[in-house]
Amino acid sequence: MKARNTRLYKFLMKLYRRYYNRFLPRWYVLIFDILSIYILFFLAYAIRLNFKLAEFPLDVVSVKAAVALLVYFVFMYVFRSYSGIIRHTGLHEIARVFQALGVAFLSLVFIAALSDLFHRPSPFIPRYAVLLIHFLLSFFMLTGVRLIVKTVFHRLVRANIKMKRRVIIFGAGSAGMVTRSALMQDHQTDYQVVAFVDDNSGKTHKMLDGIPVMFPEKVFTNDFISDSRADQLIIAVQNISIDRRKDLIEKGLEFQLEIKVMPPVRDWINGKLSTSQLRRARIEELLERPPIRLGVDHVIRELEGKVVLITGAAGSIGSGLVRQVITYKPAKLILLDQAESPLYDLQFELNHNSELKPYAERAEYV
C-alpha cells in the first residue's frame, strides 16, 4: 500500500513539474462541464426512478438531457463559468458557477411551469424533481472537481517548497484574513498559520478558518511558542496604537520571532496584498522617544550626489536607513546583505511604495 502511495505521489509530482507554468485552456473546462452536465442528467433520472433501470426510457431521457444541456450551455457561456483558473478557484468562481447553473435551472423550471399552465406537457421538458436533482448534482460535481484540483495543486506546491514558516497573525479581523490569504498564495515559502491573536474577547476562544483565535497572554508563552514552533509574527491591524505596536514587537523579540507588519492599504499593489509587501518592523518603532532628526541641510550636503554603501541593508536597522537615505538623492545607493530573500523584499518595497518609488532607480543590490 505504501509503495502504491509513493508511486502515485511521484506521478503527481511529475505532472506538477511538467504543467506548473501551464494553464488548462478554458474550452477544455467548458467541454468537461458540458459532458458532466449531460451524464449527470441520466444519473438524476435514475435517482428519480429509484434506480429501477427496467423503467428507464433511454430514448426519451436522451432527448430531455439534450434540451437541458442546451439551456445550461447558453447560461454557462453567458456567465463564463468556465473561464476561471482551476488551480486558483475561490468564492468568486464558485459563485459564478452557481449563477450559471441556477439561472439555467430556473429557466427550465419556468418552461416546465408554462407547459403545465397551458395543459400541454411536452415530452421534451424534464419534470421538476429531475430538474432539482440534476441541478444539485451538477453544482456539487463542477465545484467539487475544481476544489479537488485546487487542493491537490496546492499540496504539491507546498511539498515542493523547502523554506517553511510557522506564523502567528495579530488581528483576527478582515485584515488578518487578507494576510492569511496572501500567505497561502505565496509559492516561494510554505506558510502555516498556527494562531490568530486578538485583544477582542469576543473573538477569542473561537476558530477562524480552522485556526484558533487566542488572547496574547496565551500565545506569548514559552510553552505555546515551543509547542507550535512559531518563528514569525505578523501584525495585521491597521489602526493599532503606537504603544500596543511597540509592546507586540518587544514580545516578538523576546521569543526570537521574525516580526513583520502589514502595510497601509494605499501601498497594496492593485488593491491586493502579497507577502513581499509585508515589511520588517522598523527600529524606530521601539524607541521610547521620537527619532532624532538631523539638520536637513547637513544631511543633504553629506549624501546628495554621493555613492553610499549600506551593509546589512535588509535587516530592520539597515532597511530603516535605506528608506531614509534614498530620499536624499545619492548618486547611487549600494545595498549589501547576505540574506537574498529579505533583500528581494526590500527591492520590491522600494519599487512599489508610493513614497519611495521615485528614488528606486538609484539603488543597486548586492
pLDDT tens per residue across span 126-156? 888 999 999 999 999 999 999 988 888 777 7
Q: Confirm if 43 and 8 have CB atoms less than 8 A apart.
A: no
Give, in order, the Cα–Cα distances in Å from 363 to each of 307, 327, 352, 360: 10, 11, 13, 6
Q: Contacts from 182-189 at CB under 8 Å and sequence distance 24+?
A: 182/272, 182/273, 182/274, 182/275, 182/277, 182/278, 183/275, 184/154, 185/274, 185/275, 186/274, 186/275, 187/157, 187/161, 188/161, 188/163, 188/275, 188/341, 189/161, 189/163, 189/164, 189/165, 189/275
**Predicted confidence (pLDDT) at residue 12 exceeds the cutoff of 60:** no
**Predicted confidence (pLDDT) at residue 227 exceeds the cutoff of 90:** yes
**Predicted confidence (pLDDT) at residue 106 exceeds the cutoff of 60:** yes
Top-confidence residue, 21 or 251: 251
**Average confidence (pLDDT) over 78-99:** 85
**Predicted confidence (pLDDT) at residue 288 exceeds the cutoff of 70:** no
C-alpha grid cell, residue 224: 505555546
**Predicted confidence (pLDDT) at residue 305 exceeds the cutoff of 80:** yes
Give, in order, the Cα–Cα distances in Å from 263 to each of 54, 57, 105, 290: 66, 63, 45, 21
Nearest Cα residue to 348 out of 269, 258, 266: 269
Q: Which of 102-106, 114-118, 173-177, 217-221 shows the lowest mean pLDDT across its residues? A: 114-118
DSSP conformational letter for 238: S
Does residue 243 sit in helix, strand or coil?
A: helix
Q: Which of 159-173, 273-287, 345-359 shows the lowest mean pLDDT across its residues? A: 273-287
Beta carbons within 10 angstroms of residue 53's beta carbon = 8
% residues pLDDT > 90 (the chain): 28
Top-confidence residue, 366 or 7: 366
Q: Which of 14-28, 104-118, 310-324 has the highest mean pLDDT?
A: 104-118
Nearest Cα residue to 326 out of 345, 347, 340, 343: 347
Top-confidence residue, 40 or 174: 40
**Predicted confidence (pLDDT) at residue 363 exceeds the cutoff of 60:** yes
Top-confidence residue, 55 or 195: 195
| Distance of alpha carbon 270 from alpha carbon 267, whole angstroms | 9
Q: Confirm if 127 and 161 have CB atoms less than 8 A apart.
A: no
DSSP conformational letter for 338: S
* Confidence band for 40, pLDDT divided at 50, 70 and 90: very high
- Check residue 161 and give its pLDDT: 62
Give, in order, the Cα–Cα distances in Å from 288 to each of 109, 217, 230, 284, 343: 69, 23, 28, 9, 28
pTM for the model: 0.52
Q: At what angle do helices 26-48 and 128-159 cross, to 10 degrees?
A: 130
Q: Confirm if 120 and 101 have CB atoms less than 8 A apart.
A: no
- Check residue 14 and give its pLDDT: 60
* Confidence band for 6, pLDDT divided at 50, 70 and 90: low
**Average confidence (pLDDT) over 268-278:** 77
C-alpha grid cell, residue 190: 510554505
List of domains in the chain? 2-158 (no CATH), 163-286 (3.40.50.720), 296-365 (3.40.50.720)
- Check residue 242 and give its pLDDT: 82
- Check residue 100 and give its pLDDT: 95
Nearest Cα residue to 347 out of 337, 263, 163: 337
- Check residue 306 and give its pLDDT: 86
* Confidence band for 157, pLDDT divided at 50, 70 and 90: low
Written as one string, the DSSP assignment of 179-231 is HHHHHHT-SSSEEEEEEEE-S-TTTTTEEETTEEEE-HHHHSSHHHHHHHT--
Written as one string, the DSSP assignment of 286-334 is G-SSPPPPPPHHHHHHHHTTSEEEEETTTSHHHHHHHHHHGGG--SEEE
